[in-house]
Amino acid sequence: MIPLRWARLTGALLLALALGAAPAAAQSVLATWGLGVTLDPLDGRGRGLGSVGPGLFGTGVIPGDPGASLDLIVPTVAVSMQSSWLQVDQDAGSATLSGSRFPAMGIAYPVRDWGVLTVTYGGVLDQRWTLVRQSLLDLGAGGAGTSVTDQFVSDGGVAAARVGFARRVTPSLGVALAVGSFTGNVIRTFMRSFNSLDAGVAVAPFQSGGRWGYSGVTATAGLVFDVSDIVRAGGTITWSGSLNAKLTDGSDGSARKYDMPLEFRGGISGALGAGLSAVLSASYADWSGAWSSLGGEATAGTVLSLGAGLEWTSLSFLGRPLPLRFGWRRAELPFRPDTEDPVESTLAGGFGLRLAGTDNIPLAQIDLGVEHGTRSAGSVSEDFWRSTVSLRLAGF
Amino acid sequence: MPRLLPLFVVVTLAACQNEIPTALGEGFLPVEPVTLEVRLPWSQFVTSAQVVGGFGRADELGVGTIANAFGGTLNARTLLHLEPQHLVYDASDTLTTIVGGSFLLRFNPTGSSNQGPVTVAVGRTSTHWDARSASWRLAVDSLDGQEEWPEQGGGPVEPLGKAVWDPLEGDSLLISFGPAALANVLDTTPLEFGVRVDLDTPGELVQVISGEIQLFAMVEGVDTMITLPSVSVTDQTFIYDPAPGPPEGLRVGGIPAWRTVISMAIPAMVAGTPEACALVTCPLALTAERINLANLVLSTQANEPGFQPTDSLLVHARSLFAPGVLPKSPLGPPIFLDDLGLAVGAALASAAFAPGGERSVEVPITPLVWDLVRGTTVGGGSTSSTIALLSLSCNPVGKLCVESESIAFSSFAGAGQPGEPFLRLILTISDRVELP
C-alpha cells in the first residue's frame, strides 16, 4: 500500500499546483470565435481511448460524468494535468506554442452504503487566445506612416464546480446526478501600440478592456447499465441554465447572458476477449441557442463528436498491471467564423500504471493519454500533440 | 515508486511553458478602433503666453565663446581666472629655471562656426573682474557697485600670444609664450591672474571648453626639459556685444536665457472624423485614455544675425508651479522622461534658425495634457496648467542642469504670426471592449 505521507505530500502538491497554475493555455487559435473552444471532461484514460463520454469499464472521478464514480468504495482524489504542443499555420505565418493546464480535478467519497458523493471542478470553455494585427497608419506628420500593432488578448475561461451523487439501484443499473455552478472569469484587453521609431517620439498605447465573471447553473443526470462484466453502457444528459457574464472590475462594459445547450453523451464498452475491450462513444449538443446570444460574425450550430478505442489489460510492468489503450476521436467545434465547420481529429494512445491497490480498489494509479491531431477551419490549420496525465489516489 | 509521485507531478508541469495561442491578422478583431490626428489652434488651448528673460549666467555654462563680427555683428570674448599662487616658485630653488611656457586651449569644434583655420589670441587682463557679473561694459556688477572696464569688452590686456587653430588638426591649440609674455605670466605681483581669449578672424564664432598654462623648466645637471604641473582655470565666463533685441515671437535659450511661458486650458471636446463619430458620440470627449500623443508644434524663425546657432539646440518643457510669481516661479520636474529617465525635448537643427530654414518642431507634453484633462496627476495631486519652454544643458550622469546651452537661442513664431503654434493630438477612439 502506498505510504500515507506520500499520499498527503502528493495531494498537497497537486492542490498547490492547481491553485497556482494557469487555467488553460495553448489550446487553439480557433478559440477566437464565439465563446471559445469546448473542453471535454476526460481524464488520461478516456483521452487514450479516444472517448467522448461515459460508459467506460471501471471507476473514475470525472467532472460532468457523476456515474463514473459509481462503484468506488474508498475515498478517492483525482487530478488531471494536460500539456499541449501546438503548431498553428495561418495566412500571416506559423507559430509553435506549448502550455499546460488542469482540465479536471475531483474528490469522491463513499457515504456508507448509500452511494458515492463527488465534488468536481473542470473546464467547460477555453477562452485564452490572442489576436495580433499589424498595419500602417498616417498620423499626420508626413513620412511613410507609423507602424501600428493591434493586440486583443482574451485570458480566462468557463469552468464548472459540481456536487454529485451516484448510486446503484440494482446490481446492473446505476443512476447519478450532479448539480453545480459555472464559474471562472475572462479578462479581455485590447491594446494599440505605435512604433516610436516611425513616430519619432514615444507614443502612448491605447488600452481598453474589462473583466467578466461567469455564473450559472448546470446539472447532469447519468445512467450506467451493466450486463455482467461484458458490457457497460452509460449516458449523461447535461442541462444548463444561462451562462451569465457580469463585469467584476467596475469598467463600463455590459453584462451578457448566453443560452447553453442541452448536451447528450453516451458510450458503450464491451469485452472482446481476455483482457481486451472496446469502447464506442458519442456526444451531441446544439449551440445554436448560444449563437442567438452572440454578436459579431461567429456562428454556432450542432456539434457531434464520435470516439472509438481499444483497451488491452493483460500487460504488466514490474508486477503491476499496465493497460494499453488506443483510440480515435473526431469532434466538431461549436463556434465558427463562416459556414465551414471546424473539426478536430485525433489519434490517441496511452497506458495506465497501477502503483497500489487491486482491480476493484485502485489506491494509486497513473493514466497517460497522448493524442496527435489536427484542427482546421477556414485559413487556419493546427497540428497538435496533447498529453493528459491523470493521477488518482485513494484510501487516505 | 510512490516516492516518485511528487517529482512526477512537478516535472510534468515544469516541462511546459504557458503560451497563449496567437492568431496573426486572422479572424475577427472584436473592436475596430480609429486613430486620428487633431490639431488644436493656439486660441483653443492657450489662455496666456509670455517670454521672460534673465535666467542663468554665462559662467555657469562651463563653455566660453569667442566671436569676431559673427553674423556681421556679434563680438564675444572669453574670460578665464587662474590660480596665481600656482605660478609662484620657490625663489631659493636655484636649481630649477623656467625656460618657457604656453597657453593650452581646448575648443568644441561642433559648436564652432569655422570650417577652416582661425587665429586666436590670449592676453592677461589688467582689471579686476567678476565672473558672475562681468559683461561687455562692466567688469563687476554687484550689490557693492559697478565697475566698468577701462576699455569695453574686457580690456585692456597685456598680450600673451596668438596662434592659428585649424579644427581639422584637432580640438586643442598651444599658444607659446615669448620671453616678454613668459615674464608677464611669472609676474605674480597682482593678486589676480585673468586671461582674455579673443578671436582675431572675423565672421566666425568658436566655443572654448578649457584653458591652462603650461610651464617648462630645466633642472641643473639634467639635460631633459621638464613640464611643471599645469595651472588650470578656476572660473570662466564670456562677454558679448551687442545684446539681442527683444523677441518678436517666442524665444527660448540664450545667455542670459529666455523662457516662453504658456498657460493652457485643454478643451473638453474636440471635433471628430466621420470614422470616429461612427463609433462614439461626437464631438469627441477628450480623455486621458484616448490621448496617445500631445505635442506642442512650433515653427522656427530665423534669428537675428549673430545669434544663429552653430550646433543643434534642445527645447524642454517643464511645469511652472507658481506662474503668478514669474520670473521666480519654481520649475516642476521634466514633463516627459524617456526609458533612461532622461528628459525628452525637441532637438532643433541649427539650420532651422537660418533665413529660409524655418520648419516645424514638436515638443512632447503628453503627460501634462493627460493630467490637464484628468484634472489631477496620476497620484491625485494638483497639476499646473502652465509650462515653461526652456533650454537646458544637462549632465547625463549627475542629471544636473544649467540654463541655457549657448549664446544662441531658439526663435519661434508666436500667436497671430505665420506658423502660429498649435497642439497636435493623436487620439484613439474605440467602441467598448465587450464579450462576444
pLDDT over 90 for what percent of chain A? 56
Residue A157 has pLDDT above 50, yes or no: yes
A305-333 mean pLDDT? 93
- As a whole number of angstroms, the distance between CA A389 and CA A84 comes to 12
A138: left (phi over 0), alpha (psi -120 to 50) or beta: beta
Q: Are A131 and B27 in contact (CB under 8 A)?
A: yes
Map grid coordinates 533665413 to a residue: B355
Confidence of residue A197 (pLDDT cuts 50, 70, 90): confident
Pick from A48, A322, A393, A363: nearest CA to B6: A393
User: Residue A224: its pLDDT value, please?
Assistant: 97
- As a whole number of angstroms, the distance between CA A183 and CA A306 comes to 27
Q: Higher model confidence: residue A191 or residue B1?
A: A191
Q: Is A331 on the interface with B (CB under 8 A)?
A: no
Q: Are B433 and A189 in contact (CB under 8 A)?
A: yes
A330 forms bridges with which residues in the sheet? A306, A345
User: Residue A137: its pLDDT value, please?
Assistant: 87
- As a whole number of angstroms, the distance between CA A116 and CA B272 comes to 64
Residue A256 has pLDDT above 50, yes or no: yes
3-class DSSP assignment, residue B272: coil
- As a whole number of angstroms, the distance between CA B20 and CA B249 comes to 55
Confidence of residue A87 (pLDDT cuts 50, 70, 90): confident
Query: A31-41 pLDDT, tens per residue?
Result: 777 888 888 87
Q: Are A109 and A97 in contact (CB under 8 A)?
A: no
One-letter amino acid for residue B214 of the chain: Q
Confidence of residue A74 (pLDDT cuts 50, 70, 90): very high
- As a whole number of angstroms, the distance between CA B181 and CA B174 comes to 14
Confidence of residue A389 (pLDDT cuts 50, 70, 90): very high
Residue A9 has pLDDT above 50, yes or no: no
Q: Residue A290: enclosing H or E segment and its boundaries? A: helix A288-293
Q: Are A166 and A70 in contact (CB under 8 A)?
A: yes
CB pairs under 8 A between A and B: 223
Query: Residue B31 is nearest to which of A35, A98, A190, comparing CB atoms?
Result: A190
User: Residue B289: its pLDDT value, please?
Assistant: 93
Chain B closest-CA separation from residue A113 CA (Å): 30
Confidence of residue A193 (pLDDT cuts 50, 70, 90): very high
Chain A closest-CA separation from residue B418 CA (Å): 19
A29 grid coordinates? 487559435
Residue of B nearest to A212 (CA): B435
Residue of A nearest to B367 (CA): A204
CB-CB under 8 Å, B24 with A95:
yes
Residue of A nearest to B346 (CA): A201
Q: Higher model confidence: residue B233 or residue A27?
A: B233
Q: Higher model confidence: residue A29 or residue B203?
A: B203
User: Residue A6: its pLDDT value, please?
Assistant: 47
- Mean pLDDT over each residue of chain A, to the nearest integer: 86
Query: Residue A17 is nearest to which of B13, B15, B20, comparing CB atoms?
Result: B13
CB-CB under 8 Å, A297 with B28:
yes
pLDDT lower than 70: segments of chain B: 1-20, 22-28, 85-94, 336-345, 396-399
User: Residue A15: its pLDDT value, please?
Assistant: 47
Residue of B nearest to A386 (CA): B16
CB-CB under 8 Å, B33 with A190:
yes
- As a whole number of angstroms, the distance between CA A390 and CA A48 comes to 11
Tell me the HSE value of B429 on the side-chain side, using a 13 A CA sphere: 22
B324 grid coordinates? 503668478
Chain B closest-CA separation from residue A165 CA (Å): 29
Pick from A237, A240, A304: nearest CA to A264: A237
Chain B closest-CA separation from residue A347 CA (Å): 21
CB-CB under 8 Å, A389 with B12:
yes
Map grid coordinates 513664431 to a residue: B413
Alpha carbon dihedral B47, B53, B58, B61, in 10-degree steps, equals 0
* DSSP letter, residue B229: P
Chain B closest-CA separation from residue A225 CA (Å): 34
Query: A338-381 pLDDT, tens per residue?
Result: 667 789 999 999 999 988 888 778 899 999 999 999 988 777 78
